[in-house]
Each structure stands twice: as structure tokens, then as C-alpha cells.
A and B are shown apart, each in its own frame.
Chain A
Amino acid sequence: MLSARQRTTLYSGIAGWTLALCLFFPIFWMLVTSFKTEAEAIGGMNSLFFVPTLENYTAINERANYASYLLNSVVVSFTATVLALAIALPTVYSMVFFPTGRTKDVLMWILSTKMLPPVGVLVPIYLMFKSVHLIDSRAALIVVYTFGNLPIVVWMLYSFFKDVPGEIIEASRMDGATTLQQIRLILVPLTLPGIASTGLLSVILCWNEAFWSINLTSTAAAPLTSLVASFSSPEGLFWAKLSAVSSLAVAPIILFGWITQKQLVRGLTFGAVK
């Protein structure tokens, strides 16, 4: 007989694995389908056994320059993330260690800018970038994503910096550290795990952002989200190719996510947990 505790472990193991496999199934099925022929792809569960083929990947390579889309996604996501962190760091430092009566209100206001639905300001932003000839440029996407993620970045950093005892910063000030030295030599090293998970979340959000990338880019600066969108209408009936292009679009960020998931699980609290 199993003890009560062993039974709990057994049941939660079964339930946990079942749920996990269900959640992962769509991704798994997409990967499997990408190695089928088009005829097998629409065979549903009937074509469980098949000889894997790479023909879909070759076909995509002939039609679109995957590397260029990938490069755009990488450059835009990481640049926007670094910029957002750089802009947010000094502000959050000041808000946490030298709060004024209005700091809480400022924090709420920053989050409230996120309540502005992107579509509400699509027209002016589109026209603004058009007037400076930045439509279909990486710069436009970088600007949009930097500001789009800034509120989230500020909030996450705020929750991490709050855990740093104010006395440490105060002591370093008395020892003659300049503002930049306090941030660079004390604050950043102490909160590096938190900063890392903030950055991770920002990169993931940038990578998967689809509204602005579809509306602001066409070819030159188009990231992977646009590549997939461009395959969706004309190739909608070619499931194997669709699966292959989708796999190519999500593979880099899924691998990135898997490698860094420990960090993500540790850091993603938004200060909800002490």
C-alpha cells in the first residue's frame, strides 16, 4: 500500500504530466507535421507513421530568406530590451531609494500608459514614422518595442530593487560613490538575476509581438512574425510548409526559453511575492 503522501505524489505526477503533454501537444504536432509531405499533413491522426522529409524546409528556403527575418527578430528584440533596461535602470534606482510623495503615482501612471491600446494610436504613429521615412525599418520597431515594454520593465525592476536594503546604497554614497558607480558597482551586481529575468521577458515579448510588426514593416525590416503572417494566406492550404515556417519562427525563442526557464521561473513575480 502507498502512504498518503506517496499517493499525492503519484496523482499529482499523473495530472501534472497529462496537463503538460496536452499543453505541449500543439507545438509537438506542428513539428511533426513540418516533416510530412503535404498529402500526409492533411491525413490527421491517420498518418501517424510516415517517412520524415525535409522538402518543406527546402521549399521555404527557396521562397524566402529566413536568415534576414531571423536577423531582424534578433536585432530588434535585443536592442529594444537593452534600451528599455538602460532607460529604466536610473529611474527605478531613483524611485526606490529616493522616493518622494508622488513616486507611487508616477509608478501607476507608467503602468497606465500600457492601458493605451496600440491600435488607438496606430494612425498617428504610422504617419509619424512615414513622415521621417522609417516605415519598414528596424529603427521604427525598436522605438515602438522599447516604449511598449518600458512600463513592464520599470515595474519588474521596481519589485527587485525594493529587496535591496537602502543602507547599502546609503553607505556607498558616504564612501564617495557617484550615482553611476552606485548603480554599476552595487545595485546591478546585487539584482543581476532579477535584471536578467526582466530582460528575458522583454526579449520574449518583443520576439512575439505581432501587431506593430505586421503594420509597420513589409520586407526589409520584417521579423519572423511577419514571415509567418505572409505564409498564412496564400499558403493556408499547404499545412506542411506552414508548419515548417512556423517551426522555424518559434524554434529559436523556444530554445532560448528552455535554456533560461529556471531564471524565468525564479524571477517572474512582479513583486507579488515577498
Chain B
Amino acid sequence: MRKRGDDNLAGPSMSIIHLSQGLDASRRISFQMPKWLLIMPCIGLLFVWTTFPLLTTIYYSFQRYNLLSPMMTGSAGIENYAYLFTDPALYAAIANTLILVGSVVFVTIAVGTLLAVLFDQDFPGRNIARVLAISPFFVMPTVAALIWKNLLMHPIYGVFASIANSIGLAPVDWFTQWPLLSVVIIVSWQWIPFAALILITAMQSLDGEQMEAARMDGARGIVAFRYIVLPFLARPIAIVVLIETIFLFSVFAEILVTTGGGPGLETTNLTYLIYIKAILEWNIGGASAAGIVSIVVANVVAFILVATVARNFAK
């Protein structure tokens, strides 16, 4: 612990610490909880909480287990998986999940960055505008989906249809013509404030003098943004990508309320596919197999993200 030369560098408080340590450390240092006792509740509980259901799901995924036909039980071997992998619904759901996550992450970061840059300027009423802009973050998914589906996107009575009619355009039947895009719009609306919140916070710590110096050198607008702001925001953007991806994998209520996964399978993501199997078909075995596949997909994506993003962050 004590290295040679330390004492020369240490301030007064450090030498006092060293002194007391040297004199009667055994008497002065009171009871310290062992580290494992501090860590155990969190790690242990989290381990049990995640491992037990995971193992149970793996077990069920190899069982014949349908609540509608309780007589059919026993080992199913890889039957559930074999059936799942021949089901086109699985591939549609994986594709929809990735499209949904990817587009929402992209849109929220683009708009969030724009908001962060704008709210960095000191314009009148900035604080009120900021409060309004981040408000969607507090709206629960069911409510968000219901407002957008009915009040805004309804092809006859919705606000968008009114606007389209008033300027002489044919109103769009959002959930029939562009179902996945509609879900992307709703989910993006909910998550733009999250990206904006983190990026606004980050902008606040951007060095004003550096910006000023760049301005003196003639870097303005796009150039200043490209070479000073954007590199500075790289780390917070990486965090937004990571956290949003985790949450967006489980988008559920928005789909349940608006499209019910349809038309066809066009808005069925993995979460919704499993929900259909488990709750509507009572097929626990099949749902568990799909659950395991979704966990694998999530972890592949997570692995890629962690390798590129999070290691960097945790340093």
C-alpha cells in the first residue's frame, strides 16, 4: 500500500492517515463488513432471480406442455424447436424486432442530438420548451399507443387525417398501409426524450471555451458540430444505444394495443410472438422454446454492443 516516495507527494491529510495507521491501526479501525456480505444480497438475489426462471424455461422448452391438452405431457425432445424453426412467424418476428429496435434507436438519437444542440442555445422560454419536449418520457406505453392509434392516426377521425383532408391529400390508413412504421413512430416518440435527456446533460459539460476557440478559428454551424460536438457526444450516444436496445427488445404494450401483431405478422416482434404462443395458444412448451430463441438473439445483439460500446464505458 505504501510506496516509497509516497509521503513526499501526499498532502497533510494523507500523512495523518499514514500516521494513525502506523500507530494503532488495529485499535482504530472498527468493524468492517466483509466484502462478500455487501455484494451477496444484490448478486445472489439477482442470480437466483434470473437463473431459476431461465433454467425452468429451458426445461419447458423440451417438454410437451400445452394447457389446452393437459393429457399430453412428457419429453418432447427437440420437437418444439424443430416446429419453431420451420415456422415462418419466427423469422418474421426476428426481422421485425431488429427493424423496430434499429429504426427507433436511429430516430431517437438523431432527434435527441438535434434537441440537445438546440437547447444548448439560450433562447427565450428554453426551460419551458425543454419540459414540454421531454414530457412523452413520462407517458406509459399503453396510453401512448392509445392516443396515437385513435386521436392522431385514425384514418377518418384522427388529427392527421383532418390535416391531410384540409390540404387536399388522401388520408393515410396508418396501421393498414404502414403498420410497422406506425409502431416505430409511436415508440420513437416515447424514447426521443430519453435520448434527449442524456444528450442535453452531456452538452452541458461541453467545454464552452473550446467551442469559443473553434468559433474564433472560423468553425461554425455544421463544421463545429461535426468536429467538436459530435466526437464529444460519442460516448453518451453509445450509452443511449445500449440502454435503449435493452428496453426496445421488449416492446409489447404498443403492439398489443395498436395492431395486435398484424396485419398478418407485419408487426409481430419476438416478445409478441411468445405472448401469442403462451397466452393465446396456451402452448407453454412452444412459448418457452421461442423464449430461449429470443434470449439467444438478444444476447447476440448484446454481445456485439458490449464488445463495441460498453467495455469502453466501464473502463
B-binding residues in A (CB < 8 A): 4, 8-10, 12-13, 15-17, 19-21, 23-24, 26-27, 29-30, 33, 42-46, 87-88, 90-91, 93-95, 98, 100, 104, 106-108, 110-125, 127-128, 147, 150-152, 154, 167, 170-171, 173-180, 204, 207-208, 210-211, 214-215, 224-225, 228-229, 232, 236, 239, 242-243, 246, 249-250, 253-254, 256-258, 261, 264-274
Contact = CB atoms under 8 A, between A and B. Distances in A.
A225 B140 contact: yes
A147 B51 CA distance: 13
A33 B151 contact: yes
Given A12-B121, A20-B129, A210-B141, A119 B193 contact: no
B109 interface: no
Contacts of B21: 174
Contact of A117 (B17, B132, B295): B295
Contact of B121 (A8, A211, A225, A274): A8
B39 A91 contact: yes
Interface in B282-315: 284, 287-288, 291-292, 294-295, 298-299, 302, 306, 310-311, 313-314
A242 B150 CA distance: 9
27 contacts: A8-B121, A19-B114, A21-B129, A26-B152, A27-B136, A29-B159, A30-B147, A43-B157, A44-B162, A91-B41, A108-B314, A115-B299, A119-B278, A121-B50, A121-B57, A121-B291, A123-B56, A151-B46, A174-B21, A214-B253, A228-B146, A239-B150, A239-B151, A265-B200, A268-B198, A269-B239, A273-B205
A236 B147 CA distance: 11
A95 B39 contact: yes
Most buried by A among B42, B132, B246, B313: B42
B253 A210 contact: yes
A116 B54 contact: yes
Which 6 pairs across A and B sit closest by C-beta, in order of nearness?
Answer: A13-B123, A120-B291, A44-B162, A124-B56, A121-B53, A210-B253
A250 B135 CA distance: 10
Contacts of A42: 157
Given A44-B159, A210-B252, A174 B29 contact: yes
A180 B161 CA distance: 60
A90 B295 contact: no
Contacts of A154: 42
Interface residues on B, range: 35 or more
B252 A211 contact: yes
Interface in B238-264: 238-239, 243, 246, 249-250, 252-253, 256-257
B98 to A, nearest CB: 13
B226 to A, nearest CB: 16
A28 to B, nearest CB: 9
Interface in B131-174: 131-144, 146-148, 150-152, 157-159, 161-163, 166
Contact of B131 (A45, A258, A274): A258
A interface SS class: helix
A225 B313 CA distance: 34
Contact of A87 (B45, B141, B201): B45
Contacts of B274: 119-120, 122
Given A45-B163, A120-B57, A24 B133 contact: yes
B interface SS class: helix
A117 B250 contact: yes
Contact of A44 (B122, B126, B144, B161): B161
Contacts of A4: 220
A204 B279 CA distance: 27
A173 B49 CA distance: 34
A27 B140 CA distance: 11
B32 A29 contact: no
A207 B138 CA distance: 9
B38 A179 contact: yes
B295 A246 contact: no
Given A116-B54, A268-B197, A30 B151 contact: yes
A214 B256 CA distance: 11
Given A90-B38, A173-B29, A122 B138 contact: no
A110 B32 CA distance: 25
A178 B121 contact: no
Contacts of A100: 35
B162 A178 contact: no
Nearest to B138: A257
B298 A23 contact: no
Nearest to B305: A115
A16 B119 contact: yes
B32 A178 contact: yes
B13 interface: yes
A23 B136 contact: yes
Contact of A147 (B46, B192, B235): B46
B270 A117 contact: yes
B125 interface: yes
Contact of B201 (A44, A110, A173, A268): A268
Contacts of A204: 137-138
